Amino acid sequence: MARIELQNVEKRWGAVVGVRDVDLDIADEELVVFLGPSGCGKTTTMRMIAGLEDPSEGEIRMDGEVMNEVDARDRDVAMVFQGYALYPNMTIYENIRFPLRMRDVPKADQDRLIREAAAMVELEDYLDRKPGALSGGQRQRAALARAIVRKPQVFLMDEPLSNLDAKLRQAMRVQIKHLQRQLRITTVYVTHDQIEAMTLADRIVVMAGGSIQQIGTPDQIYRDPANTFVAGFIGSPPMNLIEGRVEGGTFSAPGISVPGLSHAEGRAVTLGVRPEDCHVAEGAAHLTGHVYGIEPTGDMTYLTVKAGDKLIEVKADRDFRADLDTPQGVTFDMDRLYLFAGESGERIR
């Protein structure tokens, strides 16, 4: 069982900075998700925890012990790679057995452990196939089985579901979360998919441009975003972000006027409001514009309203219908509004 601490960790390749200033404390048995767009340093951070990459600065500790100089093979960390990294020349059985063989697990126990691990991911029927003869989902599960078979201190998973179709992805998500709870192993999970992050994580670490933007539970990240990046990255569709000014306690932008925002007086700000906190208005409204698009999905209707040159997403009632280009008012939930500083994008509280 392991607690992982990263302190001021930085990774550079010459002038290229992959990751900077990472401070993170992962509790024992916690499932932490690194979330961010491609190229933001998620894989690099994970590889440093695994020992496949040496940090240029800072310290990585496991259970208080500094790991910087410890070789990857001595860290007792299991990783599921984005491309699975199964051994193509071995059968699935041999693949799962490999970590046991390398760690001198007695032969007598090996077979039982392999079959247990294979059963957990429902792969018993494929043990004598080679990876080349399996589908993406099956390879995925084989990689998982190989990782769990030796009960490591830490689990690392790098976008393990990114190659699967939507249905399988959802099934595997549930399976991974269940396995993690059952085995009680500290887990770091990397993804660029916010739904995956929200559903799996105990805590989410949102990253962008090589540094951490915010750390928090899925609820905190969703309800209390620290800056415009986090606000705009989480949620589907994402939060509406409207640039404007606050004068005399009123936020204004073309077609938009929201009174009662005195705490950012005289500043250029970005107003954030989630589509589900926007409501279709009949009379007086915070926003007046024209219907730009309307997308009924059955259980709700996505309404896009154009105000000035800004497109605002609204989650409307499933019965809502309107013709394109007709005038449309929208009101905002006043206690669910977010203000961010215009320049830095940091939250104004």
**Residues near ligand ADP (CB under 6 A):** 13, 16, 18, 36, 38-44
CB nearer to Mg ion: give 43 or 138. Answer: 43
Stretch touching other proteins by CB under 8 A, among 1-9, 84-92, 116-124, 314-322: 84-92
Q: Which is nearer to other proteins, 105 or 348 (CB)?
A: 105
Q: What's the N-to-C CA distance of the chain in angstroms?
A: 38
Nearest residue to Mg ion by CB is 43
Task: Give a three-class secondary structure readout of the chain.
Answer: CCCEEEEEEEEEECCEEEEEEEEEEECCCCEEEEECCCCCCHHHHHHHHHCCCCCCEEEEEECCEECCCCCHHHCCEEEEECCECCCCCCCHHHHHHHHHHHCCCCHHHHHHHHHHHHHHCCCHHHCCCCHHHCCHHHHHHHHHHHHHCCCCCEEEEECCCCCCCHHHHHHHHHHHHHHHHHHCCEEEEEECCHHHHHHHCCEEEEEECCEEEEEECHHHHHHCCCEHHHHHHCCCCCCEEEEEEEECCEEEECCEEEECCHHHCCCEEEEEECHHHEEEECCCCCEEEEEEEEEECCCCEEEEEEECCEEEEEEECCCCCCCCCCEEEEEECHHHCEEEECCCCEEEC
CB 27 within 8 A of CB 5: no
Residue 293 interacts with, from other proteins, Mg ion, ligand ADP, none (CB under 5-8 Å by kind): none
Which residues make up the interface to Mg ion (CB under 5 A)? Answer: 43
Q: Does 73 engage in binding with other proteins (CB under 8 A)?
A: yes
| Residue found by looking up tokens 């705009």 in the block | 232
Nearer to Mg ion, 75 or 192 (CB): 192
The residue within the footprint of other proteins, chosen from 50, 60, 234, 285 (CB under 8 A), is: 50
Binding window for other proteins (CB under 8 A); candidates: 21-29, 44-52, 213-221, 292-300: 44-52
Q: How far is the CB of 84 from ligand ADP (least distance, A)?
A: 16
Which of ligand ADP, other proteins, Mg ion, none binds 79 (CB below 5-8 Å, type-dependent)?
A: other proteins
Which member of 19, 48, 86, 215 binds other proteins (CB under 8 A)? 86
Residue 146 engages other proteins in binding (rule: CB under 8 A): yes
Residues 100-119 contacting other proteins, CB under 8 A: 102-103
Q: CB of residue 39 vs ligand ADP: minimum separation in angstroms?
A: 4
Interface with other proteins (CB under 8 A), residue total 26
Contact call for residue 89 and other proteins (CB under 8 A):
yes
Nearest distance from C-beta of residue 170 to other proteins, angstroms: 25
Q: Does 78 bind other proteins (CB under 8 A)?
A: yes
Name which of 78 and 330 has its Cβ closer to Mg ion.
78
Q: Which residues bind other proteins (CB under 8 A)?
A: 50-52, 71-73, 75, 77-79, 81-83, 85-90, 98-99, 102-103, 130, 146, 150
